[in-house]
Amino acid sequence: MLNIQICYSLDVSAPLLRTQGYVDGRWVSAASVFPVLDPATGQEIARVADCGAAEAKQAVDAAYKAFQSWKRSTAKERSILLRKWFDLMTLHREDLAKLITFECGKPMKESLGEITYSASFLEWFSEEARRVYGDIVPSPLRDRKIFLLKQPVGVASIITPWNFPSAMITRKVGAALAAGCTVVVKPAEDTPLSALALAELAEQAGIPAGVFNVVPCSREETPAVGQVLCTDPLVAKISFTGSTATGKVLLKMAADTVKKVSMELGGHAPFIVFDSADVDRAVSGAMASKFRNSGQTCVCSNRFLVQSGIYDRFVEKLGRAMDAELRMGHGSDPQTTQGPLINQRAADKVEQQVSDAVSRGASVLRGGKRLHGSFMEPTLLVDVSTDMLCTKEETFGPLVPVIRSVPGDALT
């Protein structure tokens, strides 16, 4: 049962709760604002500057200007600044985690884990900044020497998802800044507050103006902002984590100016259990791989293929584990292990997959119901076949479809 009766409010230190864009070392407003909602309650927690193409262009110009000096900074200088940024993230760990919980819906324990994970990228790249080595290659000619030098590519557009609103930024930005690049970050519209808090700490750490820019925007403004970040000739590199469909659009836009592109797109990971498996360990692995962040990670198992000899025992024990270990609620409640899905659209998708599976002959052993707002019960489906949507599309939710593999299948 889901029962959210307590009134939860976001309580973080004022400097970390930023609602303007961050361009060229300044906090900038836009012509309008958009709401950021707590996905657990649907309540508005902030109104953020709704940046558009003009602000995105300003950010790119600022990053390009800053690149001319940042690329000439020494590896040691960049290392020291990244380390200061890491230290500040560690100091403000609790408040940064609260931001994630309230805008993303994660249980606080997972949010704290993400901040540790997020900060570790800055720590790692602060050290790797000093190790951007070149090389000397033996020449086939007596009067020639061949030197290999590594140089920063320039301005990088960083487009990040909502499911890891802090770590997906530092993982990309830490590497870029360590190499001598400058960046423009476009965070997901559902989770801009974490990105803006990172900008505040970057400023406190002494990252120079224009090196790190954040352009938050609504879903409506995203195409215009994305167009600038992917087509502007001053942008040399694009790094994107998100859906495959969006990745294809960005690749097409980047093609005209032949930009360097890194994409981490959608997944459809199988979880395979053979007859010889230790059932308890398999169930433990399934729980860990499926229900982190309520099933909203790119490495969550999406389809469960279980050999017939072990199928019934696996399903029974998995159902018991779900009953014993999963508790839905607001992420601020220390007892919560399963928060809401990020928004109504996400819950609609899971609900549709469950409905489709049942209409095609699947049975619901656990859960299956849409609850308040974007909460979806952790759901266990059996008698699943490969013609169902849940075996063809990435779910991104707490749904476990278990397919029985019989002799003659590719699994056996």
- Taking residue 316's Cβ as centre, other Cβ atoms within 10 Å add up to 13
Cα–Cα distance, 275 to 282 (Å, whole number): 11
- Taking residue 306's Cβ as centre, other Cβ atoms within 10 Å add up to 27
- List Cβ neighbours of 101 (8 Å cut-off, separation of 6 or more): 107, 108, 111, 331, 332, 339
Q: Which residues are catalytic?
A: 264, 298
Which tokens sit at 102? 């309230």
Which tokens sit at 338? 């399963």
Determine the Cα angle at 112 with ends 106 and 115, to 5°: 105
Q: Are 344 and 373 in contact (CB under 8 A)?
A: yes
Q: Closest by alpha carbon to 45, among 104, 103, 4, 106?
A: 103
Cα–Cα distance, 8 to 17 (Å, whole number): 16
Cα–Cα distance, 357 to 260 (Å, whole number): 40
In terms of DSSP H, where are the helices of 92-236? Answer: 93-104, 108-128, 167-179, 192-205, 222-231
Determine the Cα angle at 193 with ends 191 and 194, to 5°: 85
Which tokens sit at 334? 């220390």
Which tokens sit at 158? 């960083």
Q: Are 177 and 169 in contact (CB under 8 A)?
A: no
Q: Are 158 and 152 in contact (CB under 8 A)?
A: no
